């Protein structure tokens, strides 16, 4: 048996050992806590650094996007650095420019450059294109007009140099060389053409006429001038049919059907392993076709000798304006003629189809009735919910239509409220005097009577009236020039041709009210 003192010593040793373990554990816990704090602090610092990096990246992306947007506003100008043209946007991004610096430099770069200094030898200034440019200037053609730019202008036969941008070197060189001819007598122009083509300049009226009309250049130069002047008149014409009619093309002058697809009330439920049903093509088709409309005039020997180039100023311009009136004439003439639809064999505006409403003066209640009728239009059981987009009226109803569709508030409303509910549709008012005066159809020459009280409601949520032109014409008139030397005289015959047609593709997107 061990002595009691030994047991007490053993207990003391055990207590000391336990205290040491406890102290060690406390130290370890403290170390763990301190380590955790350090790790969390490091994590917070890392997160802050990451956040800062991300913000810097986002700010840089915003700067680059802003630079690209600014340069796009100025048509993406280029600058020359070390004889190499580069996009200004690339330079700005690479150089770290801010938006203010970019805006300033883009504005400077987009300014029209001063005319370049070109070689002034005869080989550079005495060209067919230079003579053509000078003749255009003399006949009132603004060669810098935007009317001559774009793909449609190329299809219309606009010369390559005239279709180029104003700052383009070829355009500047040709226009600069052409200025020497802008005040020249037509006989001097003819003599220059003959010299360019043959290398010898003729003298005397008879010799000049013979030499000039023996070349192909005369038709090219005068044709370009007539075409440019005509295109100016065409593009400046007031066409009120844009936005609520559509444009298309046909390959020739034959009749071409526009088939439709029956409207679907809904898609069919398709069970597993099933097969979707087929949409049905309509049995009916509306017909589209183009017809040719043309006018011609001549410049004869007396006009040329007498320097009567005023004919090349006014006549092609008036022809272009007449061609520009063709589209609205056809569209409004069609609406007033109320043709038969292939789908129903009834008139486009007919009470049976709900497209012809009970006659009533254009006012809030009658317009609301027309809107409701349009929205409730159905096709094969499907509710189309067509939204009104255009209100078409004659000259007499223009102000009334604007007030009805644009006024926010109404007065004298008999207690129904002052807000104008019709304004929420945002309809566009189309006012054209053809609705009032009537239209002589360009093809039949029959007058389609107009009305001072009639009005139409249209929705572009579906098909409406399609205006077609023949493919390859650029949807603009074209000019044909014939040298009359072949028929025994000195002169030029200029013919303007326009291939166009119009018809309803769909009538249920319209409502007509004859008014009162």
DSSP 466: E
CA distance linking residue 79 with residue 82, whole number of Å: 10
Q: What helix, strand, coil percent values describe the chain, rounded to 5?
A: 45, 20, 35
DSSP 309: T
Global pTM reads: 0.70
Helix pair angle (4-73, 88-95), 10° resolution: 150
HSE-up of 86 (CA within 13 Å, CB side)?
A: 12
Pair 386, 462: CB distance under 8 Å:
yes
Whole-angstrom distance between the N-terminal and C-terminal Cα of the chain?
134
Pair 398, 436: CB distance under 8 Å:
no
CA distance linking residue 172 with residue 486, whole number of Å: 36
346-386 pLDDT tens trace: 999 999 999 999 999 999 999 999 999 999 999 888 889 99
CA distance linking residue 390 with residue 405, whole number of Å: 10
Task: Note the pLDDT of residue 274.
Answer: 80
254-302 pLDDT tens trace: 999 876 555 555 677 778 878 887 766 555 689 999 999 999 999 999 9
Task: Note the pLDDT of residue 368.
Answer: 96
Place of tokens 């801010």: 98
Task: Note the pLDDT of residue 349.
Answer: 98
Residue ranges of the chain with pLDDT lower than 50?
A: 1-6, 13, 20-22, 24, 32, 38-39, 114-119, 121
Tokens standing for 281? 């093509």
CA distance linking residue 219 with residue 216, whole number of Å: 6
CA distance linking residue 207 with residue 160, whole number of Å: 31
Q: Residue 431 contacts by C-beta under 8 Å, 6 or more apart in sequence?
A: 240, 393, 394, 395, 397, 398, 401
């Amino acid at each position: 048996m061990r002595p009691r003192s030994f047991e007490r010593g053993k207990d003391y040793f055990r207590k000391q050992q336990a205290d040491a373990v406890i102290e060690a554990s406390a130290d370890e816990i403290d170390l763990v806590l301190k380590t955790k704090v350090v790790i969390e602090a490091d994590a917070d610092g890392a997160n802050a650094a990451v956040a800062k990096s991300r913000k810097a990246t986002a700010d840089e992306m915003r700067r680059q996007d802003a630079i690209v947007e600014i340069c796009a506003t100025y048509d993406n100008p280029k600058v020359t650095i070390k004889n190499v043209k580069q996009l200004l946007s690339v330079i700005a991004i690479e150089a770290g420019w801010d938006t203010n610096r970019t805006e300033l430099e883009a504005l400077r770069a987009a300014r029209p450059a001063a005319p370049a200094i070109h070689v002034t030898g005869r080989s550079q200034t005495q060209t067919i294109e230079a003579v053509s440019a000078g003749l255009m200037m003399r006949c009132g053609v603004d060669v810098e007009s935007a009317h001559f730019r774009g793909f449609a202008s190329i299809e219309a036969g606009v010369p390559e140099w005239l279709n180029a941008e104003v700052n383009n070197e070829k355009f500047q060189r040709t226009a600069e060389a052409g200025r020497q001819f802008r005040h020249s007598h037509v006989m001097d122009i003819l003599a220059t053409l003959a010299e360019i083509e043959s290398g010898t300049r003729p003298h005397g009226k008879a010799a000049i006429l013979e030499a000039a009309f023996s070349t192909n250049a005369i038709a090219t130069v005068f044709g370009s001038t007539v075409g440019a002047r005509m295109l100016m008149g065409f593009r400046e014409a007031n066409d009120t049919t844009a936005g609520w009619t559509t444009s298309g093309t046909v390959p020739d002058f034959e009749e071409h059907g526009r088939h439709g697809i029956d409207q679907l009330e809904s898609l069919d439920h398709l069970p597993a392993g099933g097969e979707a049903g087929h949409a049905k093509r309509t049995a009916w088709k509306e017909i589209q076709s183009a017809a040719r409309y043309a006018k011609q005039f001549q410049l004869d020997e007396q006009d040329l000798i007498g320097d009567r180039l005023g004919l090349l100023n006014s006549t092609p311009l008036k022809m272009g304006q007449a061609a520009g009136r063709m589209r609205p004439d056809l569209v409004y003439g069609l609406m007033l003629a109320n043709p038969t639809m292939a789908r129903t064999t009834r008139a486009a505006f007919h009470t049976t189809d709900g497209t012809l409403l009970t006659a009533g003066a254009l006012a809030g209640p009658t317009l609301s009735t027309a809107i409701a009728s349009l929205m409730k239009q159905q096709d094969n059981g499907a509710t189309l919910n067509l939204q009104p987009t255009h209100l078409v009226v004659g000259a007499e109803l223009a102000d009334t239509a604007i007030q009805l569709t644009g006024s926010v508030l109404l007065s004298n409303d008999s207690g129904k409220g002052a807000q104008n509910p019709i304004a929420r549709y945002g309809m566009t008012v189309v006012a054209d005097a053809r609705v009032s005066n009537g239209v002589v159809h360009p093809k039949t020459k029959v007058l389609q009577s107009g009305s001072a009280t009639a009005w139409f409601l249209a929705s572009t949520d579906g098909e409406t009236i399609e205006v077609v032109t023949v493919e390859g014409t650029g949807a603009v008139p074209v000019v044909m020039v014939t040298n009359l030397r072949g028929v025994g005289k000195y002169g030029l015959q200029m013919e303007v041709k326009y291939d166009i047609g119009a018809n309803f593709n769909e009538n249920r997107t319209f409502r007509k009210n004859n008014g009162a």
